Structure 1
Amino acid sequence: MSWLKRCLTLSLLLVVLYGGWQWLVSPLVFTLSEQTPIALVNDDEANPNKLTQGHNNASCLEMDQLEPLDNDGQLRVLSWNIYKQNNDGWDAELLTLLERTELSLLQEVSLSPSFINWLNQLNWFGQQASAFEVFDKSSGVFNLSQRLPEKVCAIFETEPWLQLPKSALFASYQLSNGESLWVVNLHAVNFTLGTEEFEQQLAELEQALIEHQGPAIFAGDFNTWSEIRQEKVENVMRTLGLEEAKFTPDLRTTFAITGQPLDHIFYRGLQLKKAEVINTSASDHNALWAEFTLN
């Protein structure tokens, strides 16, 4: 037990030092995005309506020219933190995964010229919650699909130490059975001593979903590195009637000290057929993939 306490104390000290360093250095590197809160890639033909306000002052766009997201009742979903494309091989890995995916929910996407050029070669639509800019490159969560959403909203919560926003996208997609699928792509608040900001971010997303009685997916990098954070997430999912996709073997990326998995896929109103973790060196997170069928 004393060894565990020493490890936890050391980890907390490192986090504090890291947070202090970021507090001093981050203004020199990071800037809040001055662009529209939602960046579009390959969406020129969508002709989105003007920016509107959603729940909790979220910025939203509504789309035209809609087609069902699923493929004859099959819906395959990827959730992956791609670590700002820092590791070699992310493009080949993602391209392979897109071949068997209808909807990709990505976190920590750097909207660099190389990423945009790569995406422009594909027949996919992209929307990013532009949280902040790193050396003039937008960073945040990113939805990628071959069908446009009916509506997409960007929601932000500020990291209390780093004073930079963590982002989430809330979107709805048309399905072939006439229903709408509501989707949350989350990169959760991370560096906090308590859970107040973490809970606030979850509460805002819970409110966005709570009025919808149909199918839903809530996925991403939840930063559930402690049991109390995991408990807070489970409470929200229980309220929303969502259950978690189980992975066998469970190769999800975990926090080194506690062994808690960081990434999750929750769902409702769909039949889960298969769930996999893709072990990869193309990011500091392994990728999650799940196959669903419509009810």
Structure 2
Amino acid sequence: MLKPKALFPQQFIDGHPIHQGEEFGVLCWNTQKLTERKGFQRTLEQVLAESPCLFLLLQEVKLSAKTNWFLPHWSYAVAPNMETRRSVYGVLTASRYGFKEAQARLSRKREGMFATHKSYMLSYHSLAEGGSLLVVNVHAINFVRARRFSQEIELIKQEILGHKGPLIVAGDFNVWSRRRRLSLLQFCRSVGLRQAIMVDPHHVKAYRQHPLDFIFYRGLALQETIAIDTSTVSDHNPLYARFKL
């Protein structure tokens, strides 16, 4: 496993800005590196047909040089955490809205078990009335002490503290202990984030009774949520939330 290069895969297509009063769906899913498998792709198409989205936030994505399955009419950017000769792995943010900017980030520390980094993506999407929506797609570091975890969360906090507009922070946060969960809650309070509580929360991936996947938001009106049972595909289920600007 190799540390990824400075360049990261991306495809930007002209998209319209988000208008005041507009509603949009957000789908967040740890894909367990299954993105190139036909079964996953069929399931994703079905999920998107039943829960229409304008933002797609995926963690543990696997993309190879020959990948051509991804939705051709979406803009997207990848923040890799690993790269081999054949594939890139990381988080992927896709949107039907235009990307104003996309910034890929790596954790400073490596995970103890695998000696790899984790990654997150910051993407900015224009608002018609001015300003931007900031979307942060996170796969938080695992297999490190709680103090190291808190330090990495603090780095994300420093990145977004200056953003004045609406905000979505979502992903797999690996908060499988009480100390990690408290660090995440403190982070949310410090930047004014609320949790999108899922309908059917038993479908949310958990470890030691601690949910791992979350969608948080600020400056938006939450309209609907659901955790979608797709357990025959990934070991995580996708989370869906619909917001109104």
TM-score, normalised via structure 1 length: 0.75
- CA shift for structure 1 position 226: 0.9
Q: Is 2:19–2:129's contact at 8 Å kept on the other side of the alignment?
A: no
One-letter amino acid of the counterpart of residue 189, structure 1: I
Separation of aligned partners in 2, 1:262 and 1:271: 23
Separation of aligned partners in 1, 2:151 and 2:48: 32
Instruction: Verify: 1:245 aligned to 2:196, yes or no.
Output: yes
One-letter amino acid of the counterpart of residue 146, structure 2: T
Separation of aligned partners in 2, 1:176 and 1:101: 19
Summarize the alignment of residues 26-37 of structure 1 with structure 2, pairs less than 5 Å apart. Answer: 30-34=1-5, 36=7
- CA shift for structure 1 position 177: 4.0
The structure with the larger Rg is 1
- CA shift for structure 1 position 195: 1.4
Instruction: Verify: 1:259 aligned to 2:209, yes or no.
Output: yes
Q: Which residue of 2 aligns with 1:159?
A: 110
Residues 37-58 of structure 1: CA deviation (Å, up to 9, x unaligned) = x221x33xx6xxxxxxxxxxxx
Match of 1:73 among 11, 22, 32: 22
Unaligned runs of 5+ in 2: none
- CA shift for structure 1 position 122: 2.4
Q: Is 1:184–1:219's contact at 8 Å kept on the other side of the alignment?
A: yes
Q: Is 1:69–1:75's contact at 8 Å kept on the other side of the alignment?
A: no
| Distance of aligned partners of 1:134 and 1:268 in 2 relative to their CA distance in 1, 3 Å threshold | same
Q: Is 1:69–1:102's contact at 8 Å kept on the other side of the alignment?
A: no
Partner SS for 2:141:
coil
| Distance of aligned partners of 1:71 and 1:92 in 2 relative to their CA distance in 1, 3 Å threshold | farther
Residues 206-264 of structure 1: CA deviation (Å, up to 9, x unaligned) = 11110112110000000011111111000000000001011122020111xx1110000
Q: Is 1:66–1:150's contact at 8 Å kept on the other side of the alignment?
A: no
One-letter amino acid of the counterpart of residue 175, structure 1: L
Partner SS for 2:154:
helix
- CA shift for structure 1 position 154: 1.0
Q: Which residue of 2 aligns with 1:85?
A: 34
Residues 1-52 of structure 1: CA deviation (Å, up to 9, x unaligned) = xxxxxxxxxxxxxxxxxxxxxxxxxxxxx1112351x221x33xx6xxxxxx
**When the two structures are aligned, how many residues end up with a matched partner?**
238
Separation of aligned partners in 2, 1:113 and 1:96: 25
Separation of aligned partners in 2, 1:89 and 1:67: 32
One-letter amino acid of the counterpart of residue 147, structure 1: Y
Q: Which residue of 1 aligns with 2:169?
A: 218
Q: Is 2:26–2:240's contact at 8 Å kept on the other side of the alignment?
A: yes
Partner SS for 1:154:
strand
Separation of aligned partners in 2, 1:70 and 1:139: 33
Instruction: Verify: 1:122 aligned to 2:72, yes or no.
Output: yes
One-letter amino acid of the counterpart of residue 132, structure 1: M
- CA shift for structure 1 position 70: 6.4
Partner SS for 1:165:
coil
Q: 4+ runs of 1 displaced by more than 6 Å?
A: none
Unaligned runs of 5+ in 1: 1-29, 47-64
Match of 2:9 among 34, 39, 51: 39
Summarize the alignment of residues 282-293 of structure 1 with structure 2, pairs less than 5 Å apart. Answer: 282-293=233-244
Q: Is 2:111–2:142's contact at 8 Å kept on the other side of the alignment?
A: no
TM-score, normalised via structure 2 length: 0.90
Instruction: Verify: 1:108 aligned to 2:60, yes or no.
Output: yes
Q: Which residue of 2 aligns with 1:178?
A: 130
- CA shift for structure 1 position 69: 4.5
- CA shift for structure 1 position 72: 6.3
One-letter amino acid of the counterpart of residue 82, structure 1: T
Q: Which residue of 2 aligns with 1:6?
A: none
